[in-house]
Structure 1
């Protein structure tokens, strides 16, 4: 793997925007910015609780669209994996986040910021699982990216 023309600006900007969004949601709405919980609530809730959740999710989609329009070369992902594998991985991630009671945004961004021991354990589990998954996919299954 070779990193070519590394530019930290987009990652820095993205991190600042994620932190700002999480902070504003907590200050203004008293809610944690865990995408899994927000998405589940958007499907289950009714009334005012549902609207802010739908607007938050719409903002994620609009933000991704703005990224694609602004920096199309940076918004293109090439995993080298077949579509069935990407879709299967997405379903497994969704199942795991519900099983684990939250996702990387809820535990990693918001939970660690609140010094939650539960979130620390969850984030360590996420990272170890990712390391094991990469090892298995690359070295056991022989799939290269």
Structure 2
């Protein structure tokens, strides 16, 4: 039964989850800050954009550590890839326009929800925040319904 859900094994998912959990717990314990990626994205735009949305004091005050967090994630993934190689092929059969459309919809949803799945799902729920629980339930329900609707329409990845 478990093999059908995890045809490539489950151990690397467990290891990744433990590393992510340890990283966000360390950030929270050491600084009291939450590590949501949509906030990292927004605060990073404050370096190059003069739009009011990106020039808010909360983004300007936190952009240095958030950019360091983003660079650490990218460098950590690059190091993993260089040392161990890619776990799976780096290609997908999904057309680029669908990936871009999905990214835009997910990005809009993250801003509408006041955070993304990593911020609400990992950090917010980990610190027992009710709005994060509601956001994650909404993310999951929307994802399930969308997948079911597209499957019923015959649209496969």
The TM tier, using the shorter chain, reads 0.7 to 0.9
C-alpha contact (below 8 Å) 1:22/1:32 kept by paired residues = yes
| Residue aligning to 2:54 | none
Which residue matches 2:90? 76
How far residue 3 of structure 1 moved from its aligned partner, in angstroms, is 6.0
TM-score of the aligned structures, taking structure 2 as reference length: 0.79
Shift of 1:122: 0.5
Instruction: Tell me whether 1:56 sits opposite 2:58 in the alignment.
Output: no
Q: Over residues 9-61 of structure 1, what are the superposed CA-to-partner deviations in whole Å (9 max), with x where a residue is unaligned?
A: 210111011111111111122211111112212323446x3221111111221
State how 1:77-92 maps to structure 2 within 5 Å.
78=92, 80-92=93-105
Q: Does 1:144 align with 2:156?
A: yes
User: 1:109 is matched with which residue?
Assistant: 122
| Structural RMSD (CA) | 2.0
Counterparts of 1:60 and 1:73, CA distance in 2: 17
Consecutive aligned runs of 4 or more in structure 1 exceeding 4 Å deviation: 2-5
d(CA) in 1 for partners of 2:142, 2:11: 28
Q: Deviations over 1:87-106 (max 9, x none)?
A: 11101111110111011111
Matched, 1:65 2:105: no
- Which consecutive residues of structure 2, in runs of 5 or more, have no partner in the other structure? 47-58
What displacement does 1:64 show?
Answer: 2.6
- Structure 2 CA distance for aligned equivalents of residues 89 and 62 of structure 1: 25
Paired residues, number: 141
Q: TM-score, normalised by structure 1?
A: 0.85
Q: 1:11 — aligned with what? A: 13
Report 1:25-64 matches (<5 A): 25-44=27-46, 45-46=59-60, 49-64=62-77
Aligned to 2:26: 24
